Structure 1
């Protein structure tokens, strides 16, 4: 009996050790318009174990039936990293509205050509993967899925895509993309432009509600988690705008802002701040992500998935990474 108990204990111990290693490896998205890492960012990236850096190359929108590229990345010629670069292309869901079959082929060819030009014109180490980020819906899924298949045929590369929380919850309606790998975006749990007290970047109870049946999702996932922040500005009429990368620390150090409570501030003087003209009396709500919320989200997902997955943090920027040193050991 004693030998049986020892054997059972050993099995449990081995299983527990394996579970703690499920999300041991982490990497990063890079989402700035200029590819340029400072020394601290290079060190943070070098310590990460995931071999890829998921780098936004450009966005695609459709205007007047024309496909337009916005925000094409500018790459510092002297940049060096040992990571392979995975191009990430954001495509608006509106792009798929009333798209024709020949337009799908045209778009796949054009995106592939643009990626190849960016890579060949710069000293990049390309991965054999292209990632597409698009918030498809039940009405656009067929055309979007056809595009993913077409891009794979054109590029001869592995095609991955992002997965949003509502697409997990409503997978019977939104469908499952024809790809081998997906990246679950565990953020944007609600709209920052709504009137609410929840953190719109990551509210853990909301995330758990959306992912209650995550174990049933049929495609293997890596997990994208947020480490960014922003400020939600509300004017006198209740209209809202975002200031990206704003922190409570910055506002507390500025005499032109009055703290209302831990994350809410009031503008004391009319002036330009962080790219916007703000009037006295405007309110700013800061949304940042506590490390405990990241840990709780990971523990929940870990219990749902029975296979190893990587964590991809959004995104690589010293303004954010400096606040999560224990995550990047």
Structure 2
């Protein structure tokens, strides 16, 4: 995964804000989908998961937009390298572009339209290069703030205008604090939104029990009105280790599990999925120092089922897409096809 998840991170806990107030029944149709967020195509084993859960759509990250100091302008980085493998046929594709806040902070509102044109041009070129046959939608992923809202919304509007000329819808990701406070955060001028129902705790706090999916922290934020865009839903099927050094978040170690920390000469279990590094060592290509601390996190299956049951009360459109983030981690993270099917069923019942 080329994009560190912490760049996408939302520290607000306001997750279930729009849930629980509506009496509308659960959606009649739930379509299962996956996010593909790697720098090269997944392996055959990962793609096989799509068939096992009946997933016909993939949200495919193509590239990021970040600030380029040399150019003095936003530019694409971290592009998907299709040389690493083949993309399967017979699927519906939603190309995704991640935009950093710093790239928008330095983009004057007058230049947002031009940046939108460059993004759409690059996306359509990649669609042709990768031979993606069915592309009903393109998605922009950005955790916009008050300082970037104007530029981002202008960019969204222009992207939507350009894509509509090709018969393609535009969707945007919606973080939980944006869902809870639409008056302050605004609502992007897109066709649809994707509620990113994870990363809801205080990842930078050592005391945080599980920043990926913390339903206890979510509970106080239940109850409000519906969002102004029809929403799809993304649930987490990944794990990571949160590395702390000198009391500060140092990095995220993606896909890290307890088995990776089984060597007691290097990692001392502190209880509660926490470990202390007792001997300097390399892990995932990074050097860890004696005294570093690691908190293991994952979305527990039982918490995912509770989340799906609670989310069922939201006035979802029908059909609604339930997208799992992300392809390649679910098989090794304790998320079998039976669980993913059960989650889809829990939302639909």
Measured at CA, do residues 210 and 73 of structure 1 come closer, stay the same or move farther in structure 2, by a change above 3 Å? farther
| Residues 203-233 of structure 1, C-alpha deviations (whole Å, 9 max, x = no match) | 11333434532x4212111111111111111
TM score, norm. by length of structure 1: 0.86
Measured at CA, do residues 20 and 163 of structure 1 come closer, stay the same or move farther in structure 2, by a change above 3 Å? closer
Measured at CA, do residues 35 and 210 of structure 1 come closer, stay the same or move farther in structure 2, by a change above 3 Å? farther
Q: Work out whether residues 46 and 82 of structure 1, in 8 Å CA contact, stay in contact via their aligned partners in 2.
A: no
Whole-angstrom CA distance in 2 between matches of 1:306 and 1:318:
27
Q: By percentage of residues, which structure has more helix?
A: 1
Measured after TM superposition, the shift of residue 123 of structure 1 is 3.2
Secondary structure at the aligned position of 2:156 is classed as helix
**Which of 142, 157, 163 lines up with 2:174 in the alignment?**
163
* Match of residue 81 from structure 1: 89
Measured after TM superposition, the shift of residue 124 of structure 1 is 2.5
Measured at CA, do residues 81 and 204 of structure 1 come closer, stay the same or move farther in structure 2, by a change above 3 Å? farther
**Which of 171, 189, 204 lines up with 1:193 in the alignment?**
204
* Match of residue 223 from structure 2: 212
Whole-angstrom CA distance in 1 between matches of 2:53 and 2:85:
23
* Match of residue 67 from structure 1: 74
Is 2:150 aligned against 1:119? no
Secondary structure at the aligned position of 1:304 is classed as coil
Is 2:286 aligned against 1:276? yes
* Match of residue 173 from structure 1: 184
Measured after TM superposition, the shift of residue 321 of structure 1 is 5.7
Higher radius of gyration, 1 or 2:
1
**Which of 259, 268, 271 lines up with 1:249 in the alignment?**
259
| Residues 227-278 of structure 1, C-alpha deviations (whole Å, 9 max, x = no match) | 1111111224545321111112322367532222141112232221112101
Structure 1 stretch 315-324 or stretch 171-180: which is displaced more? 315-324
Whole-angstrom CA distance in 1 between matches of 2:233 and 2:269:
35
Q: Work out whether residues 26 and 314 of structure 2, in 8 Å CA contact, stay in contact via their aligned partners in 1.
A: no
1:89-168 to 2 correspondences below 5 Å: 89-97=97-105, 99-155=107-163, 156=165, 157-168=168-179
TM score, norm. by length of structure 2: 0.81
Q: Work out whether residues 37 and 79 of structure 1, in 8 Å CA contact, stay in contact via their aligned partners in 2.
A: no
Q: Work out whether residues 232 and 322 of structure 2, in 8 Å CA contact, stay in contact via their aligned partners in 1.
A: yes
Measured after TM superposition, the shift of residue 104 of structure 1 is 1.4
Whole-angstrom CA distance in 2 between matches of 1:152 and 1:140:
18
**Which of 6, 25, 31 lines up with 2:31 in the alignment?**
25
Whole-angstrom CA distance in 2 between matches of 1:60 and 1:218:
26
Uncovered stretches (5+) of structure 1, i.e. residues with no partner? 1-15
Measured at CA, do residues 179 and 194 of structure 1 come closer, stay the same or move farther in structure 2, by a change above 3 Å? same
* Match of residue 328 from structure 1: 340
Secondary structure at the aligned position of 1:61 is classed as strand
Is 2:268 aligned against 1:258? yes
Whole-angstrom CA distance in 2 between matches of 1:237 and 1:71:
30
* Match of residue 10 from structure 1: none
Q: Work out whether residues 199 and 212 of structure 2, in 8 Å CA contact, stay in contact via their aligned partners in 1.
A: yes
Measured after TM superposition, the shift of residue 173 of structure 1 is 0.7
| Residues 90-124 of structure 1, C-alpha deviations (whole Å, 9 max, x = no match) | 00122222533442122112111211222222232
Whole-angstrom CA distance in 2 between matches of 1:174 and 1:100:
19
